[in-house]
Structure 1
Amino acid sequence: MFCEQCEQTASGQGCHQWGACGKSPEVNALQDLLIYCLRGLSQVALKARELGQTTHDVDVFTCEALFATMTNV
């Protein structure tokens, strides 16, 4: 596990075994996967906007999903 998703990390270096916030390695891995998928979704939404499509639902989902991965904010 390497987690850098919150501001509780020791010396700003990220947690390595178990999160200072209590997050397990499994949750960290799932959140990393979600962030990875959101990066791809954002690229698709950007291209859609370039082609004149609205992406409001995607924009809202992306913001909510990213916020869900942040700890202690």
Structure 2
Amino acid sequence: PFFSGLPHCQIHCSMYPDILHQLYQGMLKHTITWFQAILGSRELDRCFQMAPPTHGARSFHNGLSHLTQVTGQE
């Protein structure tokens, strides 16, 4: 491997997950898919549409099923 000549290199310490893509969006997608299976897309959209506006939180006036791209804060 490329790090064999570096005796003090701990390659496993340098490999870490991309929090935005692997953890946040992975868990979010899994949870939304789980809720859609339980409630159905229409009911889940209705729940998000009826949520009251809250400071610091996003509003989904069209529900979640109409989202085409989800981004997070970096």
Structure with more relative contact order (C-alpha pairs < 8 Å, separation 6 or more): 1
TM norm structure 2 = 0.38
Q: Larger helix proportion, structure 1 or 2?
A: 1
Indicate the structure (1 or 2) with the bigger Cα radius of gyration.
Answer: 2
